[in-house]
Chain A
C-alpha cells in the first residue's frame, strides 16, 4: 500500500481529532454539542482573514481560536443559561456560522465561493529529528505542519486532564450525575461553560488548520461535516480520548480512501464516506440493545430516554 495514503491519513485526520477532542469534553460534561462544524468554520474564516491582513500565522491562529471560542460562548449562553435545547441551539449556531462566514466572504473579500491569496502565509513543514532517519516511519510521520503534531500531542494532554485532575473528575461527574456534583458543591453551570469554551478552543485549532495548513484558502462550508464525523467518533468511543482518536483516525482513513480508492478500483466514494455514520448507528444500536436488556423492566412506565 502506498505510504502516501498513510501520510494523507495523518493530515486528514488532524482536524477530526482536534474537533473530536473538543467535542468529547462537552460529551463528558453531558452535552450533545453538534455545533462543532459551526465553531470550525468561523475559525477557518477568521484564520484566513487575519493571516491575510496581518501576515502573521500566530496572529491568525490566535484570532481563529478567539472567534471560535466566542461562538462557543454564545452557544453556552443560550444552552446553559437560557435553557435552549442543546440540539436546537447547536443547529442554529452552526447554520448561523455558515451564513455569517459566507456573508463575510462576500462582504470583506468580494468572493462568492472561495478566497485565496498568495499573500497568505503558509506553514512550513517540519522534519522530525529522529523519525526522519527511519525509512517507513519518516514518510508517514515526518514532514507535517506544526498543527498536526500539536493535535496528536494534545490527545494525551486531554486524557490526562480528564482522568487525572480534579477539574476532569468534576467535569465527568457533572456529565453523569449533575445532582451529585451539585450537592458536593461543584458549580455545574460553570463546569459546563468551561467545557463548551474548550470545545471552542479545540475547534478553533481545527478550523485554523483547515484553512491555513491543510489547504490555504477559505471556501463556503469547507468543514464538509467533519464536525459530524468527529461527533460520530465520540459516540462510537463513548467519549474516551484515546479510543476516540483511534476511531477518528480510522474515519479519516476512510475519507482518504474514499478519494483515492475510487480512482484505482472504481469503487464508489460514497460507500466509503458512509462508513463513519453507519458504523456509529450500529454502535448506538448495540449500546441501546444492551441497556434495554439491563434496564429494570419493573419500574414505573416512562416514555423518556433513560
Chain B
C-alpha cells in the first residue's frame, strides 16, 4: 500500500509554513469573536465597545499590562505542560491536578525548610516538579503497563488532587485562624513580585525559560526529535529504534513537572502560601492554550499571552462596565471547539460527503477512547 491522494497531505515546507500554523487558530478566533459579538448584541450591548474594553483593559497602560502578565504566567506553564505531552502523543489532561500537587509540595517545602534563599528557592521548585511528576506518573504507568486509558485516569485524578490537597491544607497542616491554607511560605522561598499593580512575579521568567528550553529541546535535541516522531506514528518510531514506552513515560513525567512548576509560581509568587482550591482552572485553560499554539512552545507564549490578555481584559470589563467577564471564557472555549474540528478543505469543497481527511495537528491520529473496546 502507499499513500493515495498525496494532495491531501502535501504541503511545501518553507516560508509559507511559518505562517500556516497560525492560520487555523486565527480563523477559529475570528469565528468565535463573531459569535461572541452576536451574543453580546443579543443581550443588548455594543460588541465593539465590549471588545474595545477587552483590548484596552488588558494592554493599555502599565497597570493593565502587569495584570495581563500575572494572568499569563500560569497559562505559560500549563500550556507548555500540555504541549509537551500531546506532542509526544499522550493525552495529559491531568495538568490541573499536577499543578495542584506541585503547588502543595511547594507550599510545604516553602514553609517547612529554613534555608537561605539561594538554596530554598531551587529546592522548593524541585519539590513542586516532583509533585507534578508524581501525579503524572500515575496515569503514565497505568497507560504503559496496564493499557488503561490515560484520559479517564487523568479526569478522575484531577478532583482527587483537589480534594487531597484541600484535606491536607485544611485538616492537617492548616495555618492558624479561620483560613483554608497552609502556613505562609518563608521569606526565603518567595518569588519577588514586580510591582504593586499586580502579582506578576519572577516566576514568569521561569516560565519563559521553560518555553525557551523546550523550543531548544524540540528542535535541537535527540529527545525532542524522538517525541515528535512518536507523536505522529509510534509504530514507525519503534521500528526506527526509538524506545517508545520509555520516552512516553518521560514525556508524561516532564509534562507533570512543568505543571507542578506552574503551581509553584502561584504559591511562591502570587499568594505566598498554598490556598485550597486556588486554581480557577489553569489546567483546563492550558489545554486551550496548547491547542491554540499547535503544541509549539513559542506558540504557547503567544497563545498564553492572548488568553492572559483576555482574562485580564475580562476582569476590567467586569469592573468598569456591567458586563460579565465570562464572555471571555465563552470566546476561549468556542475557539477550542472550532479548532478541534479536523477536516480538510477538500472535504468541505465536496460538500461534506465522504470521509473527512484527518490532518495531524501534532497529535497522533489516535483512535478515540473506546469504553467498550474488545478484541475480536
CB-contact partner of B156 in A32, A81, A280, A302, under 8 A: A280
Q: What is the distance, in angstroms, from A218's C-beta to the closest C-beta of chain B? A: 13
Q: Which residue of B lies closest to A274 (CB)?
A: B163
CB-contact partner of A93 in B337, B358, B371, under 8 A: B337
Contact check, B341 vs A83: say whether CB atoms are below 8 A apart: yes
Could you say which residues of chain A place their CB within 8 Å of the CB of B340? 78, 82, 84-85, 88-89, 92
Q: What is the distance, in angstroms, from A110's C-beta to the closest C-beta of chain B? A: 7
With known contacts A92-B337, A270-B164, A28–B147 Cβ distance under 8 A? no
Highest count of chain B CB atoms <10 Å: which of A100, A281, A301, A302:
A281
A71–B367 CA distance with the chains assembled, in angstroms: 24
Q: What is the distance, in angstroms, from A41's C-beta to the closest C-beta of chain B? A: 12
Could you say which residues of chain A place their CB within 8 Å of the CB of B337? 78, 84, 88-89, 92-93, 96
Q: Which residue of B lies closest to A112 (CB)?
A: B324
CB-contact partner of A274 in B160, B326, B332, under 8 A: B160
Q: Mark B157-181, 1 if CB is under 8 A from A, else 0.
A: 1011001101100110000000000
Q: Mark B323-364, 1 if CB is under 8 A from A, else 0.
A: 110111110111011001111000000001000101000000
Contact check, A27 vs B287: say whether CB atoms are below 8 A apart: no
Q: Decide yes or no whether A160 CB sits under 8 A from chain B.
A: no
Could you say which residues of chain A place their CB within 8 Å of the CB of B149? 284, 305
Highest count of chain B CB atoms <10 Å: which of A87, A273, A296:
A87
A-side interface mostly: helix
CB-contact partner of A270 in B43, B166, B376, under 8 A: B166
Could you say which residues of chain A place their CB within 8 Å of the CB of B167? 268, 270-271
Q: Decide yes or no whether B4 CB sits under 8 A from chain A.
A: no
A88–B356 CA distance with the chains assembled, in angstroms: 18
Could you say which residues of chain B place their CB within 8 Å of the CB of A273? 159, 163
Contact check, A268 vs B342: say whether CB atoms are below 8 A apart: no
Q: Which residue of A lies closest to B165 (CB)?
A: A270
Q: Decide yes or no whether B372 CB sits under 8 A from chain A.
A: yes
Q: What is the distance, in angstroms, from A17's C-beta to the closest C-beta of chain B? A: 19
Contact check, A102 vs B324: say whether CB atoms are below 8 A apart: yes
Contact check, B284 vs A95: say whether CB atoms are below 8 A apart: yes
Could you say which residues of chain A place their CB within 8 Å of the CB of B93? 87, 91
Q: Decide yes or no whether A239 CB sits under 8 A from chain B.
A: yes
Contact check, B372 vs A28: say whether CB atoms are below 8 A apart: yes
A73–B332 CA distance with the chains assembled, in angstroms: 20
A258–B65 CA distance with the chains assembled, in angstroms: 43
A153–B367 CA distance with the chains assembled, in angstroms: 36
Could you say which residues of chain B place their CB within 8 Å of the CB of A295? 147, 375
Contact check, B372 vs A27: say whether CB atoms are below 8 A apart: yes
CB-contact partner of A288 in B148, B159, B171, under 8 A: B148
CB-contact partner of A30 in B244, B323, B370, under 8 A: B370
Contact check, A30 vs B372: say whether CB atoms are below 8 A apart: yes
Q: Which residue of B lies closest to A177 (CB)?
A: B376
Q: Which residue of A lies closest to B45 (CB)?
A: A107
With known contacts A95-B329, A100-B330, A228–B159 Cβ distance under 8 A? yes
Q: Which residue of A lies closest to B160 (CB)?
A: A277
With known contacts A280-B156, A281-B157, A107–B324 Cβ distance under 8 A? yes
A156–B373 CA distance with the chains assembled, in angstroms: 25
A121–B230 CA distance with the chains assembled, in angstroms: 58
Q: Mark B188-222, 1 if CB is under 8 A from A, else 0.
A: 00000000000000000000000000000000000
A17–B339 CA distance with the chains assembled, in angstroms: 33
Q: Mark A165-184, 1 if CB is under 8 A from B, else 0.
A: 00000000001110000000
Q: Which residue of A lies closest to B159 (CB)?
A: A277
Q: Decide yes or no whether B291 CB sits under 8 A from chain A.
A: yes
Q: Which residue of A lies closest to B143 (CB)?
A: A305
Q: Mark B120-153, 1 if CB is under 8 A from A, else 0.
A: 0000000000000000000000110111110111
Could you say which residues of chain A place their CB within 8 Å of the CB of B288? 92
Q: What is the distance, in angstroms, from A281's C-beta to the closest C-beta of chain B? A: 5
Q: Decide yes or no whether B250 CB sits under 8 A from chain A.
A: no
Could you say which residues of chain B place their CB within 8 Å of the CB of A271? 163, 167
Could you say which residues of chain A place their CB within 8 Å of the CB of B332? 95, 99
Could you say which residues of chain B place their CB within 8 Å of the CB of A96? 329-330, 333-334, 337
Could you say which residues of chain B place their CB within 8 Å of the CB of A176? 372-374
Q: Decide yes or no whether A193 CB sits under 8 A from chain B.
A: no
Contact check, A281 vs B156: say whether CB atoms are below 8 A apart: yes
Q: What is the distance, in angstroms, from A115's C-beta to the closest C-beta of chain B? A: 13
With known contacts A231-B155, A232-B156, A306-B375, A103–B163 Cβ distance under 8 A? no
Could you say which residues of chain B place their CB within 8 Å of the CB of A85? 340, 342, 368
Q: Decide yes or no whether A243 CB sits under 8 A from chain B.
A: no
Q: Which residue of B lies closest to A231 (CB)?
A: B155
Q: Decide yes or no whether A4 CB sits under 8 A from chain B.
A: no
Contact check, A99 vs B333: say whether CB atoms are below 8 A apart: yes
A88–B342 CA distance with the chains assembled, in angstroms: 12
Q: What is the distance, in angstroms, from B372's C-beta to the closest C-beta of chain A? A: 5
Known: A305-B367, A305-B369. 6 other contacts (CB 8 A): A82-B341, A85-B342, A87-B151, A108-B43, A268-B167, A303-B248
Binding site for B on A (CB under 8 A): 27-28, 30-32, 34, 78, 81-89, 91-93, 95-96, 98-100, 102-108, 110, 112, 175-177, 225, 228, 231-232, 235, 238-239, 268, 270-271, 273-274, 277-278, 280-281, 284-285, 287-289, 291-292, 295-296, 301-306
Q: Which 10 A-B pairs have the closest CB atoms?
A: A99-B329, A106-B324, A288-B146, A84-B340, A82-B341, A288-B148, A303-B234, A102-B326, A107-B43, A92-B337
Can you give 23 contacting A-B residue pairs, CB < 8 Å? A30-B368, A30-B372, A31-B368, A82-B340, A84-B342, A85-B368, A86-B368, A89-B337, A91-B333, A99-B328, A99-B333, A103-B326, A107-B43, A228-B159, A277-B157, A278-B156, A281-B156, A288-B142, A295-B147, A303-B238, A304-B367, A305-B373, A306-B373
